């Protein structure tokens, strides 16, 4: 009940793009001219549909009605923060949060801090389209393949809701409202893997009655059309002239499909480690880490680490940090923690939010001393600020310092005079980098975005502001009751933040 196998309109053969030409007579003509005004390059809107392979990659074998319903929302801005997107339900944060991150990246480059509240609706519209285009540019492997829905005709014949023959319209009673990360576990599982307990409490289909949408998965897939453009300028022009494609009820889904079609099925499968794992959890509706990475970097790799093939292989425009690292479920690599712009998507075990700052020095190149601290900590996985003296030679080699055995033994005796078998971080830094300089300031502003209204004070989606301080001590103060601080410490181990109104923003 409440779920369907691949809808009847799904094609039964696959192409490397993941789309198929519809059979003549199945839904009308096999091709239709554009229903949109491009004002430039002419792009045919072809009557095609997604293949079974593409459908399975995204949704698994079936779509639960409740999962599909939670993805039915367009991009909309908050009434209380002009540039902040609102997320209605749990699930689509793996699309909404990356779009918000790119939007903020563009905004930080253009506007001073005091200009955030002065943004007009037209400016925010422009920022959203620019963010979408930047994401698509990273995903392009051939042409930009824009996914739209067939427009109504004068008679309304193509727009009438099509019956979903296999979907039970009643919402699933047992499912949570998932927005969790697909974590890179190391032999450990969270207590409730994949379940968005926070959203489940807020949005329980057995308690809240939602206005029934005309859209079912069957109707959505019947109406899908594809437009191809070679140049990003034409994509930008299309969204400017057809902004409703992003803001209508299926806007988030249409962008997701556009990203995946622009990337191409073959390329996505080649980057994933397990092609049998769906990009959206078939029970909870949350996005996998491969989907999050695709939205942020253009590569559908499954890991956070710096890996040549299956991880983040270069410095990204947008960063990523997660509370799950502090809980030792995963390790986030240097490229993700140190992006080109002071914007990070933040992952809890249930949701994705965005952290950003006006302080551009947060992404300054590392000083030699900061490189040394980072390398030292790679040999100190517990964050104890010391390493076994036996690995000193490995640390020196990694830093390209003198590592001849005789020299290493001399340094070991100096750094561990009591022969305790450990070398402290401070002793190491004082010996090799006595005049250490910092690229990061001691104090800086932080702002946090959470798109779910009920996760914001007073139900108003607004940026939370805080003043961060980097303490002199290297001792990490763990506070399991403060997930925000726990997550921030994976990037800045000695950070403290005073949030406005003494209200720590929620990661869930």
Asked if 476 contacts 491 with a C-beta cutoff of 8 angstroms, the reply is no
**Which residue is it, tokens 């079912």?**
216
Partners of 354 in beta bridges: 345, 449
Q: What is the DSSP letter of 389?
A: G
442-to-178, 363, 385, 469 alpha-carbon distances in Å: 37, 14, 20, 6
Strands 144-149 and 19-21, how do they pair? Answer: unpaired
- Give me the residue label for tokens 């490189």: 371
8 A C-beta contact, residue 228 and residue 48: no
- Of residues 198, 221, 267, 351, which has the active-site annotation? 351
Catalytic residue selected from 93, 124, 179, 487:
93
Measured between alpha carbons, how far is residue 39 from residues 33, 136, 238, 503 in Å?
14, 21, 8, 48
| CB burial string 148-161: b at 16+ within 10 A, e below | bbbeeeeeeebeee
Pairing relationship of beta strands 319-322 and 343-347 according to DSSP bridges: parallel
**Main-chain phi, psi angles of 156, to 5 degrees:** 80, 10
Q: How far apart are CA 192 and CA 86, in angstroms?
A: 26
Compute the distance between CA of residue 18 and CA of residue 276 in angstroms, rounded to an integer.
Answer: 15
Question: Would you call 351 a catalytic residue per the annotation?
Answer: yes
Q: In the beta sheet, which residues pair with residue 335?
A: none
The Cα–Cα gap between 350 and 180 comes to: 4
Kind plus residue range of the DSSP H or E element containing 131: helix 121-139
Burial of 21 (0-12, 13-18, 19+ CB in 10 A): middle
Residue 81 to residue 281: CA distance in whole angstroms: 31
What is residue 467's three-state secondary structure?
strand
d(CA 240, CA 481): 45
Best CA proximity match to 189, nearest among 44, 328, 360:
328
Secondary structure class of 139 (helix, strand, coil): helix
* Residues 6 or more apart whose Cβ sits within 8 Å of residue 206: 171, 173
Of 196, 259, 206, the C-alpha closest to 18 is: 259
Phi-psi group of 170: left, alpha or beta (phi > 0 → left; psi -120 to 50 → alpha; rest → beta): beta
Joined together, the tokens standing for residue 124 give 């925010």
Cα dihedral 159, 160, 165, 171, rounded to 10, equals 90
**Residues involved in catalysis:** 93, 351
């Amino acid at each position: 009940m409440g779920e369907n196998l691949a809808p009847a309109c799904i094609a039964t053969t696959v192409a490397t793009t993941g789309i198929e030409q519809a059979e003549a007579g199945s839904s009308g003509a096999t091709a239709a001219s554009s229903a949109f005004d491009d004002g430039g390059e002419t792009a045919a809107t072809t009557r095609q549909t997604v293949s079974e392979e593409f459908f399975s990659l995204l949704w698994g074998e079936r779509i639960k009605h409740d999962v599909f319903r939670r993805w039915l929302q367009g991009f909309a801005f908050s009434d209380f923060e002009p540039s902040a997107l609102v997320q209605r339900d749990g699930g689509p944060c793996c699309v909404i949060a990356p779009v918000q991150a790119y939007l903020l990246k563009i905004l930080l480059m253009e506007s001073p801090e005091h200009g955030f509240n002065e943004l007009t609706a037209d400016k925010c519209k422009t920022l959203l389209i620019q963010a979408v285009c930047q994401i698509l540019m990273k995903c392009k492997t051939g042409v930009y393949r824009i996914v739209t829905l067939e427009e109504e005709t004068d008679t309304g014949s193509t727009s009438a809701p099509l019956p979903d023959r296999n979907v039970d319209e009643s919402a699933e009673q047992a499912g949570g409202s998932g927005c969790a990360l697909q974590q890179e576990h190391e032999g450990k599982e969270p207590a409730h893997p994949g379940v968005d307990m926070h959203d489940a409490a807020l949005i329980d289909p057995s308690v809240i009655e939602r206005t029934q949408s005309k859209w079912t998965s069957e109707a959505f897939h019947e109406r899908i059309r594809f437009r191809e453009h070679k140049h990003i300028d034409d994509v930008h022009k299309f969204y400017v002239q057809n902004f409703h494609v992003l803001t209508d009820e299926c806007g988030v889904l249409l962008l997701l499909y556009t990203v995946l079609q622009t990337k191409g099925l073959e390329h996505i499968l080649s980057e994933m480690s397990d092609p049998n794992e769906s990009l959206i959890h078939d029970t909870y509706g949350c996005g996998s880490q491969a989907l999050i990475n695709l939205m942020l970097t253009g590569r559908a790799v499954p890991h956070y680490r710096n890996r040549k093939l299956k991880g983040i292989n270069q410095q990204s425009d947008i960063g990523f940090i997660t509370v799950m690292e502090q809980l030792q479920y995963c390790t986030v690599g240097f490229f993700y923690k140190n992006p080109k712009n002071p914007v990070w998507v933040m992952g809890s075990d249930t949701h994705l939010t965005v952290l950003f700052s006006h302080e551009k020095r947060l992404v300054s190149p590392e000083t030699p001393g900061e490189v040394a601290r980072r390398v030292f900590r790679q040999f100190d996985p517990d964050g104890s600020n010391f390493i076994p003296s036996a690995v000193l030679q490995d640390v020196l080699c990694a830093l390209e310092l003198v590592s001849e055995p005789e020299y290493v033994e001399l340094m070991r005796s100096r750094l561990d005079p009591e022969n305790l078998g450990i070398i402290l971080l401070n002793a190491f830094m004082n010996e090799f980098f006595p005049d250490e300089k910092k690229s990061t300031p001691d104090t800086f502003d932080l702002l946090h975005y959470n798109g779910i209204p009920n996760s914001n004070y007073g139900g108003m989606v607004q940026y939370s502001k805080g003043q961060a301080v980097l303490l002199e001590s290297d001792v990490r103060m763990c506070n399991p009751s403060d997930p925000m601080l726990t997550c921030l410490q994976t990037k800045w181990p000695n950070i403290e933040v005073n949030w406005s109104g003494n209200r720590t923003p929620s990661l869930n």
